[in-house]
Structure formats: structure tokens, C-alpha cells
Structure 1
Amino acid sequence: MYGQNTDVLRESLRELLTFHRIQHRIGGAGAPSVRATTTAEERRLIGEQIARYRHSVLTWCHQGLYAANPHIDHEKLTRRTRGPAEELRHRIHAALAGDHAGLPTITELTTTQPFRLVEIWRQAARACALGEHDFAAGVGHGRLSKAQALTLVHDVAEVTEALLVLDRRYDGIPGWQHLQSPTRLVRAAEACATYSRYSDPSYSVDHHGWDPPAQLIDPPGLPGIAGVVQAQHNLLVNLRTIPNAHSLRVVLDSQRLLSHETATRLTGADPAPAARWAQRAQVYARLVQQTRDIGGNLGTGGLAAGQGSIAAARMQKLPHDALLDPTQTRQLERISAGIDERVADALHYGITQRLYLQRANVLGLQDRDGTLEHVIRKRFIPMTGPLKATLIDLARNQLRPEPARHVSRPGAAESRIDFQAALHHRRGDTRPSQTL
């Protein structure tokens, strides 16, 4: 996730900003009583390795600005027409072009380094390498609100400022190569950071990004409500593919039955969740009724149908006081909301792409003993008319869960405040950092 990767990146840079006497931290001589443990050539090689880690972080910054707004043609923009974000992206692009260190190898990203300073740089570069997947998995233009995009731009601007501060401190490393045009780059980063503060930040961007895919929970079945949660989780995983019409109807009926049984058991203990489950049962009952005449063999869904039936059967066997644990009840509700979303997507896709067809009665002729008779034949035709409109309305407006509110991840603001305090710290400044 974007929040997890940027937390590691900010924490790594925050600790690096507290380091002084860089030569001593990579084996150079410090005080008169401290002898050098590395040669100048070894320190030069360490400096080149740090430069590769820095190149990885700077590449992440460039990709972050591109993800915030990819529709920028820098060839048609000039220094006077570029905005703060466009100017910073232009300066980072120039810095990357002039930095010949290159990206670190996979061995450098995965091997623990002996010096603490180099190890922290490795952790920062590793977080950036993982964070590159976030920009293609939800942290990008068109998927973020304006406030979220500005928060992304602000994070990039502050990371760039930190890189420039560290770049000046590492001047004593033999053969150290500074970033190109550091003065213009730091001015662009400061202007971009100031510009992105004009609106309130939206730290809900931390919830976006790449997550490892969920895996099936293998048998044996767990006892009690945990077994229902297990079957629902496996159903959610198996709904990654579009089910055929028969499997879809089995899934719909299993969720209707499970919702009804859950609402019955929660009626006396917790009325508010019981009402939500009862409403879910009504929606699925309407879906079961409306899909009784649909067909279609394209798709899979046999495993999903089986897990849905298992979940409903296990819920029926539970005693009436089995839902007293609020943690497991909330987990069941969260997983069921994911099932609702995937069922809604399957319905909408299957109807619009004509994977699900409508059964219709068609008049025909039959030759029986030389006599033509009118008969009614059943045919499956593309879904049109009131049935199509009803099913799409149920999937889009009633089954699909409400969009999640823009809620910040716990610790998102504190992580950025601590990073800002380390970035703008001055010697002798003992004032506590101000909250945003």
C-alpha cells in the first residue's frame, strides 16, 4: 500500500537527516582516538552504492509526479508556463538525466548492509522499488481526488527536499557526485511543497495502492462463526472470475439465506447490524427472483457456488447466541461487503457483455403425424427491456456498498509531522513540532 511504503521511506529519511559526520559512519576516521576501518577506495565504492539508492528514491519522486498528472507535455511548456508541480517534475527529470549512478541491483536491494547508514538507504530504496507498483494499482490520475493528488505531490516535494539536504552533507565522501542544479531543484521542491499546502491534505491516499492478493483458507473447516467467515472469504476469492448463470444464482441464494439467518440471530443482541443484514437479505431475495429466467454457460463459478452453499449451511447450524463476538461479526460484514461488490460487478459485466441471456417464449410450428401444430419454444435472447434495467439498478444502487469515506489511516498525520520536523530542524531548536 502507498501508506506503508511511504511510511518506511519517510522514517528512513528522517533517521538519515539526524546523521552527521558521514565519513565516520562509513568507516572513516573520526576523533583523534578513532581510527579508520575503511580505505578511501572502499568509501568511494560505498558512496557510489548510496548514489544508486538515491537514484531509486529520485525515480520514485518522478513517477509520483507523473502519476498525479500524466497529461503534461513538457516539450510545449516553458519555465514561465510551468506550474509548481510541473516545474519540480521537470527539474527531477533533468537531475535523473544527469545522474549516471543508475538504479541499484536486486542484490543491493535485498542484502543487509554492514553500515547502519547504508542499510537505511537500502530500506528507503527498497520501499521506493515496492512503491512503484502503487502508481499502477490505484495511486494515479483519475483514481484520486484533487486533495489526494495534492497530498501525493506534497509527499514527493518533501522527499526531494530531504534528498537535497543529504546531498550537501555527503560532500566529504571520496568521488561523491552531487545532483545536477541543486539550487533550482530545491527551489522547485520548496515552491511545490508550499503550493500543495493551499488545500487541506487528504491522507486517505494511504489506503490506495497495491496489495498482495488474498489466498484461500484451506480445510479443515473452522468451528463456529469462524467457519462461516472462512467460507465467505473463500467465496470472495473465487469471485475474481465471472460465474456462469447457474453458479451466479446459487451464490445469490446462498447470500440471501446467510443474510436472513444472520439478521435473525442479531435481532435481539444488536438491532442496527440486524437491520443492515435484513436489508441485504431483501436485496438478494429480489435478485434471486429477477434472475430465475436468465441463462448462460460462459464463465466459471462452480467453486464460488460451493463456498456460498457451505457458508449458508454453516450459518444455519449455528446457535442463536453464536454472534456475540463483535470482532468476528464486523469481519463477516466486511467480507460480505466485498462479495456484494464483486457480485454487482459480475451482474453488470455479464449483462452488458451478453454473457447472461434472458429466457423467452417463442412461437413455433411442430410437425406431428403430418399435421402442423403451434407450439411454444423456449429460447435465450440478449437481455433487454425491464429485466435488464431492474437488474442493473439493483446491482448499481442497492447491492454495491456505499463508497468508503475519506478516512485517514492511523498514524498518517503523525508520520508526516515527524518527517517535517526532521527536515526543517535547526541546531538549538528545541521547540515541539506543530501539528498540521
Structure 2
Amino acid sequence: MRYRIEGTLGAIEVSLPTMDELVTEQPFALVDTWRQAARACVLGEHDFTNGVGYGRLSESQCLTVIKDAADVVRALVSLDRRYANIPGWHPLKDPGRLGRVAETCATWAGYWEPDYTVDLRGWRPEPTLIEGPGLPGITGVLQAQHNLLIHLGTFPTANNLRVVLDSQRIVSRETAHGLQPFDPTLAARWERRAETYGRLVHETRDLGGMVGNGGPAAGQGSIAAVRMEKLARDAITDPAQSRRLQRVSAGIDERICNVIERGVAQRLYFQRINVPGLNDHNGELVRVTRQKFVPITSPVQTDLLAIVRNDLRPTPIRRKAPKGATQSRLDFEAALHHRPPPRGASPDVPSI
């Protein structure tokens, strides 16, 4: 199908629509419908480099994308045949072959169950920092946590990573204390998060690594911890604010898991160990045990990776397809197979 589409586009003698034509509403409903279809195709092509390419989608999502593309091509061929006699119309090259290959792709991809959660993938605006002075109350903590999540996009050094881990331990502990009188179940979750980060701080006490930066992330983490400690016990009783704090903290957990996994896999983080054996006396009054840094994946490894993989990493969210995703495709399929009744026939009389 891609070969046929490329051949069709190469044979077009007129210029493709400009961006202004794609976004400008047309006065005729039929033309505007096809304008929206063309705009959707352009956005879909743009999304392939932003999370919708092969290797990033499941097999069901890939088949759903293939069927959607094939249905759009079938609709284009149908449009070309319907308006071929209009003066000035530019017909497609080999519409019969293009229509047959699109029909084959749509039929083959339709054998499997579709996954319309692919509609949630694609380009999204990049989150930006919340600049300005510190906001009051729990909003200021959310501001610092949000900025911390963005700054964690830069790989941190081992020292800065420890600062971030300790800041999340403090934030979780204070949140658990504040929620205890109002929601003991939610407070227990925050208590477990604080305990997990406490264990991570303990396991990373001998972690070394100079690659990266992470200074802004460490600074925002410290600000979040200080602001949370200064809050009153009843400052986080608002359910909406509590959900926002959970959401941004879950994003921080996932980002920290990815940072540690990357640091271990690419040998950017090392574990400090004591070198066994006798130490040579160099004449000093105090004998210092020799130490060296080894990869975390060596036989001398800690529980760091186990804590990250089993306790810290949040449970993957099972996303639901957007509302109307199924119905819109059914309506589009019905429009492809629609045959108008003959002239003069009653609308209630079926026609072949």
C-alpha cells in the first residue's frame, strides 16, 4: 500500500494544500469534511515521530493504525471515482490498483481485535516549568514537584540523585502525617512510599557517579521537602490537590526508576566497596581501608535494583480508548459502503 501511495503522490501534477488551506474552514460542508480528513492525515504523519512509530506500539495498535490508513485510502479512491467527471478534476494514478491494495490491507488488519487506545498516543505539548515566586500552601509543593519532574529529564549525578531521593522521603512522610486523621488508607500508601525512599537512600549511600548534572532537580526536590515540612497538618485535605500530588509523585517515581535503570545498565553509577586483603603500612598513624568503585551489576551488588523494580516502579496504567473512538470508525465504515437509492424510489424500499 505504501508503494502504491508513493506512486500516486509522485504522479500528482498539482501542488498539495498548504497549511493555511488545511486550517481554514470551508463554506461547503463536503469540502470542509475532506479538509478535516486531510488535516487529520497530516497530524497522523507528524505523530509517527512522536510515539506512534514501530517499536513503540503493541501489535494490536499497529494493526489499528494500518486499518485506519487503509480506510482513508479507500475513501479517497471512492471520492476520485465519484467526481471523475467534474471539469478540472485531477484523477488519481491507477485508482483501481490503489483501491484493491487498500481493501486488502483493511480486510487483513480487521481480522484482529482493534486497540483504539492508540488515539491517545502521538504528539503532546511539552510541559513547561512553573516560574515565579513560590505559591502558598500545598500549591507551592505541587509547583516544586512539577518542576522536579521536568528537571529529572536530565541525568543526575549520584550525589544529586541522593538529594532527590531524600526529598521524596520527606515529602511522603509529611504527606502521610497530614492525611492520617482524614484518610488512613491513603496515608498508609504515602507511608509505604516514604519507607521505600528511605531504603533507597540507605542503598545509595555508597553510590558513585560523576556523569550528568541534576543540580536543578536536587534544588527543586529540596524546595518541595522544605515547603512540605512547613505546611500545617490540615493543609492537604482537599481531595483535588491530593490527587494532583499523587499524579505528579507517580511521574517522579517512574522517572527515578528509569534514571537508576539507565545508570546501572550504561555503567554511569558505581558501587563503592572495600578492597579485601592486607593494607601496606605507609607510616601514617591512621590506616585507611582501601576502596574502589565497581559496577552495580557485578557479584558485589546491593538491593538497589530490587527495590526499584519491585517497590518503587508504579503499576502501569491501563488506559481506556477515548469516548467515541469506536462509533466514529463505524460511521466512517458505513459511509464507505453507502449506496444512495435510485432516483424516484421510496426511501423505505431497499435497493441493491
TM-score, normalised relative to structure 1: 0.70
CA contact (8 A) 2:154 2:212 kept: yes
Counterpart in 1 of 2:251?
A: 338
How many angstroms does 1:123 deviate by? 4.4
Q: Are 1:95 and 2:27 matched, yes or no?
A: no
Counterpart in 2 of 1:130?
A: 43
Indicate the larger mover: 356-365 or 288-297.
356-365
Q: Distance in 1 between matches of 2:123 and 2:223?
A: 30
Per-residue Cα deviation, 1:181-218 (whole angstroms, up to 9, x for no partner) = 22332233333333323222211111222222211010
Counterpart in 2 of 1:367?
A: 282
1:147 to 60, 67, 70: 60
1:416 alignment partner, SS class:
helix
How many angstroms does 1:327 deviate by? 2.3
Q: Distance in 2 between matches of 1:381 and 1:284?
A: 23
1:365 alignment partner, SS class:
coil
CA contact (8 A) 1:290 1:387 kept: no
CA contact (8 A) 2:119 2:322 kept: yes
Query: Kindly tell me: are residues 373 and 214 of structure 1, through their superposed partners in 2, closer, same or farther at Cα, counting changes over 3 Å?
Result: closer
1:248 to 161, 164, 169: 161
Q: Distance in 1 between matches of 2:76 and 2:163?
A: 56
How many angstroms does 1:292 deviate by? 0.7
Query: Kindly tell me: are residues 354 and 225 of structure 1, through their superposed partners in 2, closer, same or farther at Cα, counting changes over 3 Å?
Result: same
How many angstroms does 1:113 deviate by? 6.4
Q: Distance in 1 between matches of 2:324 and 2:237?
A: 30
Counterpart in 2 of 1:280?
A: 193
Per-residue Cα deviation, 1:285-315 (whole angstroms, up to 9, x for no partner) = 1100100111222211111011111112222
Q: Distance in 2 between matches of 1:114 and 1:89?
A: 29
Q: Are 1:195 and 2:108 matched, yes or no?
A: yes
Counterpart in 2 of 1:85?
A: none
Counterpart in 1 of 2:231?
A: 318
In the TM superposition, 1:254-403 aligns within 5 A as 254-362=167-275, 364-365=279-280, 367-368=282-283, 374-385=287-298, 388=301, 390-403=303-316
2:129 to 216, 233, 243: 216
Query: Kindly tell me: are residues 106 and 406 of structure 1, through their superposed partners in 2, closer, same or farther at Cα, counting changes over 3 Å?
Result: closer
Compare the two structures and name the one with the higher helix fraction. 1
Alignment root-mean-square deviation, CA: 2.8
Instruction: Give, as a single letter, the amino acid of the residue that structure 1 aligns with 2:54.
Output: H
Instruction: Give, as a single letter, the amino acid of the residue that structure 1 aligns with 2:282.
Output: D
2:107 alignment partner, SS class:
helix
Counterpart in 2 of 1:61?
A: none
Query: Kindly tell me: are residues 187 and 393 of structure 1, through their superposed partners in 2, closer, same or farther at Cα, counting changes over 3 Å?
Result: same
Q: Distance in 2 between matches of 1:357 and 1:374?
A: 24
How many angstroms does 1:115 deviate by? 4.7
How many angstroms does 1:109 deviate by? 4.7
- Identity in percent: 55
Counterpart in 2 of 1:178?
A: 91
Query: Kindly tell me: are residues 273 and 165 of structure 1, through their superposed partners in 2, closer, same or farther at Cα, counting changes over 3 Å?
Result: farther
CA contact (8 A) 1:366 1:372 kept: no
CA contact (8 A) 1:164 1:186 kept: yes
CA contact (8 A) 2:66 2:106 kept: yes
How many angstroms does 1:398 deviate by? 2.3
CA contact (8 A) 1:158 1:189 kept: yes
TM-score, normalised relative to structure 2: 0.85
Q: Distance in 2 between matches of 1:315 and 1:424?
A: 60
Q: Distance in 1 between matches of 2:216 and 2:60?
A: 41
Per-residue Cα deviation, 1:76-133 (whole angstroms, up to 9, x for no partner) = xxxxxxxxxxxx33433332343343544455556x3665465655544344333223
Counterpart in 2 of 1:229?
A: 142
2:156 alignment partner, SS class:
coil
CA contact (8 A) 2:296 2:302 kept: no
Query: Kindly tell me: are residues 270 and 187 of structure 1, through their superposed partners in 2, closer, same or farther at Cα, counting changes over 3 Å?
Result: farther
Instruction: Give, as a single letter, the amino acid of the residue that structure 2 aligns with 1:287.
Output: L
Instruction: Give, as a single letter, the amino acid of the residue that structure 1 aligns with 2:68.
Output: D
Q: Are 1:416 and 2:326 matched, yes or no?
A: no
How many angstroms does 1:387 deviate by? 6.1
Structure 2 gaps of 5+ residues are: none
How many angstroms does 1:339 deviate by? 0.9
Query: Kindly tell me: are residues 271 and 102 of structure 1, through their superposed partners in 2, closer, same or farther at Cα, counting changes over 3 Å?
Result: farther
Q: Distance in 2 between matches of 1:181 and 1:122?
A: 23
Per-residue Cα deviation, 1:225-252 (whole angstroms, up to 9, x for no partner) = 2221111110000000110111100000
How many angstroms does 1:170 deviate by? 3.3
Q: Distance in 2 between matches of 1:196 and 1:223?
A: 53
CA contact (8 A) 1:253 1:284 kept: yes
2:160 alignment partner, SS class:
helix
CA contact (8 A) 1:367 1:373 kept: no
